[in-house]
Amino acid sequence: MMIRVKVPATSANMGPGFDSLGIALGLYNIIEAEETDGEMLMYAGKKQISFNSNNLIYKAMQKVFDECNYAPRGIKIALNSNIPRTRGLGSSSACIIGGMLSANIIPFS
């Protein structure tokens, strides 16, 4: 079963509340993931991110799987990234949180 997670961009640098006050923005990363019977790791979608085992989404998912002693047969990940990288809008955080949330849902779907 394919699951879909939508994670907003954020800004945590709001004036005097540097790194303590933030807002969610109207830009999102949409992650679709599913367990497969095929290869351990497959990617679909845009080729603008690192598509290997060093990918932040995959690494975040793997941390959750390890913590839960769950071994997926294979994982397919598709990312529709609307959060610009290196602009201070939390693109890395959105990938990490999206991967962790996806990994928490996959075993139960």
Q: Mind listing the pLDDT tens digit for each residue in 39-57?
A: 666 666 655 556 667 789 9
Q: How far is CA 52 from the centre of its chain?
A: 14
- Helix or strand holding residue 47 (H, E): none
- Strand pairing category for 23-35 and 41-45: unpaired
Residue 74 confidence (pLDDT): 86
What's the pLDDT score for residue 25? Answer: 83
Beta bridge partner(s), residue 24:
10
For residue 90, the one-letter residue type is G
Give the pLDDT of residue 104: 93
- Which stretches in the chain have pLDDT values below 70? 13-21, 39-52, 109
pLDDT at 78: 87
Task: Please tell me the predicted confidence (pLDDT) of residue 16.
Answer: 66
Q: What is the pLDDT of residue 45?
A: 61
pLDDT, residue 80, reads 87
Pairing of strands 23-35, 3-11: antiparallel
Q: How far apart are CA 30 and CA 5, in angstroms?
A: 6
Look up the pTM and report it: 0.81
Q: Check residue 68 and give its pLDDT.
A: 92
